[in-house]
A and B are shown apart, each in its own frame.
Chain A
Amino acid sequence: MLRSCALLTGLAAALALPAAAQETPKRGGTLQFAISGEPPNYDCHANSSFAAIHWLAPHYSTLLKFDTANYPKILPGVAQSYEVSPDQLTYTFKLRPNVKFHDGSAMTSTDIKATYERLRNPPQGVVSLRQASFEDIAAIETPDPLTVVFKLSKPDASMLANFASPWNCIYSAAKLQQDPNFPKTNILGTGAFKFVEHVKGSHWIGQRFEDYYEQGKPYLDGFRAVLLSGAPMINAMNGGQIMAEFRGFSPAERDRLVQSLGEKVQVQESGWVCKLDILFNTAKKPFDDARVRRALSMAIDRWGGAKNLQRIAFVKEVGGILRPGYEFAASKDELAQYPGFSENIQAAREHAKKLLAEAGVQNLKLTLTNRTVAMPYTPTGLFVIDQWRQIGVQAEHSQLETAPYQASLQSGNYEAALNFACDFMDEPNLQLINYISKDQSSLNYGNYIDRKLDELYEKQKRATSKDERKRLIREFEQHLFKESYTAPVIWWHRYIVHDRRLKGWHITPSHYLGQDLVDVWIAQ
């Protein structure tokens, strides 16, 4: 009891945010922090994991960026201002005149054009995971070195947010002309920190860029990121060797640090645009039958699971395909209408058993493919397997390393799998694209074609009123869950514990945002 009280007092102290706004940032110091994964290459456009962006973001700039203290407000990046035409078909950006690459060359509209041409239409041998996000760009014009104009073929509600995506690192046109894959193995950006070294399996060093375009920033002299995870990372925090880790801590890790470091650490928490979905491979029997998929989704007690799993894993909220709390997300009442979201789990499981019987499936045995990443994949996988046992379904848990796991999903060599769905912001276009037909989205690993979903996706993308968009999203969600191509489990919840001396870093619902370290400083 005493221990619990001490922990609660510690947590309360750690959560009590200091009046950071009143403090004046101080120059100097090197930030040491941990990152728990290594990037497969250095190309922002070709990556989608925190294990890439956390290393790369301090070296690069983007046209616009998110104001992490006031998420989802958008701030200028290398663009000092922008204009959107009334028909939402023309975006005009005025660039800052003093932006330089780390090699001293000036950044101009030519570099922006080259970067976005690479993103929307990558040359042979170049990977752009953001191609679909920019498919509506018809032309990019550069009337002068400090102006860039994007002409769209159709209005796109998410376009401005896409320009603020941390993944759209601006590259040098000259370097891309020499070698379109230059960014894959080299780091040359206009960000706040110059790249110094990367020792694989060990660390990464960045040094303050003296010619950074924002006067007086960054505040840090440099940073040193070390590759650490799990218990060694917690021990390094305890020992003061690192000041933070920016992906997320489990509740138990958070409590351990608060208990041992007390007021020396600060805890920030937020909802998270991340969840685990159960994917069913519709190309394999019996998962080609919607009744089987629906039964497997209905067997899961999401409400009970959320209540209990949040004690041991960084999951918390029950939701549909959009993050609970986000303006377009389904309310609790709306969720209750979907199969698999009933609070009366006994009735739902009886219904699930009937569906399996109707489908002629008895004593179903399947393999649930999962990652070996402990948090939150393992607890969620165990929970799902246990829930399926309640309706007589036996699942073998196959945990694979990231590369074979991804290969299994991409090649369709799985029956059911837990797949992460994380984005840099709440935006229906980003989240819904995971669920449209296989021939429309490379992110669909369920191997299904559903033209109704494709049509609803397009309609909501073009919707000009929020109410209309919301209605279409509900219709999309209703149809998706009726067919149960995928079944969301529980949404993640983000806890960040950092040294209280670390200032200027604000938690957001995405672990991809806010890692440029421009505003971060250390109170000595």
Chain B
Amino acid sequence: MAATTTGSTLPSRERSALLRFVVEQPLGAAAFVVILVMALAAAFADWIVPYDPEAIDFSAMLAAPSPAHPFGTDAFGRDILTRIIYGARTALSIGLLSSLLGCAAGAVIGVASAYFGGRTDLVVQRFVDILLSFPIIVLALVVVAMLGRRLVLGIDVNLIVAIAIPIVPKVARVIRSAALSIREMPYIDAARAAGYSHARIIFRHMCPNVVAPFLIMLTAFIAQAILLEASLSFLGLGVSEPKPAWGLMLAGNASDFYREAPWMVIFPGLAISLAVFAFNLLGDSLRDWLDPKFRT
């Protein structure tokens, strides 16, 4: 039987890179651990929570934090810890998917704009300027109001698109500036001379070379996407009750009962803050680690 590398051991080069990241960016590593815990909790929520996140229990309405309900219960008697853990699933899935979609689309547009240059670049960049002139929340609000809701496998696809769209111009602008220098590299000239198609040059030769800024922006925009999803859900345009979502937990009855049951707003608020903080910190650390300009 051929020798294989087991899942628990990393090749030495990767292991040393990870160790280097932990040593050089301890805050980033801590943020990564927080995100990892959130991701694992979200993934294994069905096995680790004692309550059904959607089941109403009127006998436990507005119960204060206790051993039975460490974070208390809401106005419907639902366990807040359970809903926060399931809410992580909503936040991370929508945050990751919308950020990935927005960053991928932005990266392709940015690289293509830089590659073609001239009039194409001019038109694309003016369009990007228009989109950039809208505050991110306003743009997302308009898109979500126009598209409405469309659930696929329990996930609101239109919500993901609505959050992704405001990300696109920001990423396109940053990636374009990175791609402008790549466009002038000899291997791009060589690819052109070899007669490769535009698509092949863009996807095979330019895009892989903007991975570093792409990853930095991806992590930074996951935080923004989580915040945006929470904001839209708070405004009633995101996730619908009874699905657990952090922003939604701050809306509705929470505003009626925050005085009598402050745990209804404190814990979901903390969850949003922690997730956003962790992703921002990880994004900053990745930037410092990957970008040579930030190395001391």
Residues of A in contact with B (beta carbons under 8 Å apart): 230-231, 250, 252-253, 256, 304, 307-308, 311-312, 372, 374, 378-379, 381-383, 385-386, 389, 396-401, 404
Contacts of B255 in A (CB 8 A): 230-231
From B55, B61, B75, B236, give the contact of A399 (CB < 8 A). Answer: B236
Within the assembled complex, what's the spacing in Å between the Cα atoms of A206 and B172?
52
Task: Tell me whether B256 and A382 are in contact (CB under 8 A).
Answer: no
A231-B255, A312-B253 given as contacts; is B236 within 8 A of A382 (CB)? no
- The verdict on B289 contacting chain A, using a C-beta distance below 8 Å, is no
Task: Tell me whether B55 and A386 are in contact (CB under 8 A).
Answer: yes
Contacts of B148 in A (CB 8 A): 400, 404
Task: Tell me whether A399 and B240 are in contact (CB under 8 A).
Answer: yes
Within the assembled complex, what's the spacing in Å between the Cα atoms of A401 and B252?
16
Chain A, residue nearest B237 (CB): A372
Task: Tell me whether B240 and A253 are in contact (CB under 8 A).
Answer: no
Question: Which residues, 135 to 170 on B, are CB-close (under 8 Å) to A?
Answer: 145, 148-149, 151
**Cross-chain pairs A/B with CB under 8 angstroms, 19 sampled:** A230-B255, A256-B259, A304-B58, A308-B58, A308-B61, A312-B75, A312-B76, A312-B256, A374-B252, A379-B76, A382-B76, A385-B54, A386-B54, A386-B56, A397-B241, A398-B149, A399-B236, A399-B241, A404-B148
Task: Tell me whether B56 and A378 are in contact (CB under 8 A).
Answer: no
Contacts of B236 in A (CB 8 A): 372, 374, 399
Given contacts A389-B55, A398-B240, A399-B241, 8 further A-B contacts (CB under 8 A): A250-B256, A252-B257, A256-B259, A311-B75, A312-B256, A382-B56, A383-B56, A396-B151
From B145, B151, B242, B259, give the contact of A382 (CB < 8 A). Answer: B242
Within the assembled complex, what's the spacing in Å between the Cα atoms of A385 and B257?
22
Contacts of A374 in B (CB 8 A): 236, 252
Question: Which residues, 237 to 257 on B, are CB-close (under 8 Å) to A?
Answer: 240-243, 252-253, 255-257
From B58, B241, B259, give the contact of A381 (CB < 8 A). Answer: B241
Within the assembled complex, what's the spacing in Å between the Cα atoms of A89 and B257?
55
Binary interface profile of B, 35-73, with partner A (CB < 8 Å = 1, else 0)? 000000000000000000011101001000000000000
Chain B, residue nearest A304 (CB): B58
Chain A, residue nearest B255 (CB): A231
Task: Tell me whether A397 and B75 are in contact (CB under 8 A).
Answer: no
Report A419 CB to chain B, min CB distance, Å: 18
What is the size, in residues, of chain B's interface with A at 8 Å between Cβ atoms?
A: 22
A382-B56, A404-B148 given as contacts; is B240 within 8 A of A397 (CB)? yes
Chain B, residue nearest A373 (CB): B236
A304-B58, A311-B61, A372-B236 given as contacts; is B256 within 8 A of A379 (CB)? no
From A308, A311, A397, give the contact of B242 (CB < 8 A). Answer: A397
Within the assembled complex, what's the spacing in Å between the Cα atoms of A404 and B237?
13
Within the assembled complex, what's the spacing in Å between the Cα atoms of A250 and B149?
28
Within the assembled complex, what's the spacing in Å between the Cα atoms of A399 and B242?
11
Task: Tell me whether B252 and A378 are in contact (CB under 8 A).
Answer: yes
Within the assembled complex, what's the spacing in Å between the Cα atoms of A320 and B61?
27
Report B128 CB to chain A, min CB distance, Å: 30
Task: Tell me whether B54 and A252 are in contact (CB under 8 A).
Answer: no
Within the assembled complex, what's the spacing in Å between the Cα atoms of A374 and B242?
13
Binary interface profile of B, 68-89, with partner A (CB < 8 Å = 1, else 0)? 0000000110000000000000
Within the assembled complex, what's the spacing in Å between the Cα atoms of A312 and B76?
9
Contacts of A404 in B (CB 8 A): 148
Contacts of B252 in A (CB 8 A): 374, 378
Of A230, A307, A308, the most chain B CB neighbours within 10 A belong to A308
Chain B, residue nearest A301 (CB): B58
Chain A, residue nearest B57 (CB): A386
Of B54, B61, B240, B256, the most chain A CB neighbours within 10 A belong to B256
Give 4 nearest A-B pairs by CB, closest first: A252-B256, A308-B58, A386-B56, A312-B75
Within the assembled complex, what's the spacing in Å between the Cα atoms of A231 and B254?
11
Within the assembled complex, what's the spacing in Å between the Cα atoms of A372 and B259?
24
Within the assembled complex, what's the spacing in Å between the Cα atoms of A404 and B158?
16
Task: Tell me whether A378 and B58 are in contact (CB under 8 A).
Answer: no
Within the assembled complex, what's the spacing in Å between the Cα atoms of A289 and B147?
33
Report A251 CB to chain B, min CB distance, Å: 9
Chain A, residue nearest B235 (CB): A372
Report A318 CB to chain B, min CB distance, Å: 15
Within the assembled complex, what's the spacing in Å between the Cα atoms of A401 and B242?
17
Contacts of B54 in A (CB 8 A): 385-386, 389
Within the assembled complex, what's the spacing in Å between the Cα atoms of A311 and B261?
14
Within the assembled complex, what's the spacing in Å between the Cα atoms of A253 and B252?
12
Contacts of A378 in B (CB 8 A): 241, 252
Contacts of A386 in B (CB 8 A): 54-56, 76, 242
Task: Tell me whether A252 and B253 are in contact (CB under 8 A).
Answer: yes
Chain B, residue nearest A385 (CB): B242
Within the assembled complex, what's the spacing in Å between the Cα atoms of A87 and B33?
84
Contacts of B58 in A (CB 8 A): 304, 307-308
Report B73 CB to chain A, min CB distance, Å: 12
Within the assembled complex, what's the spacing in Å between the Cα atoms of A85 and B7?
93
Within the assembled complex, what's the spacing in Å between the Cα atoms of A230 and B55?
26
Task: Tell me whether B256 and A256 are in contact (CB under 8 A).
Answer: yes
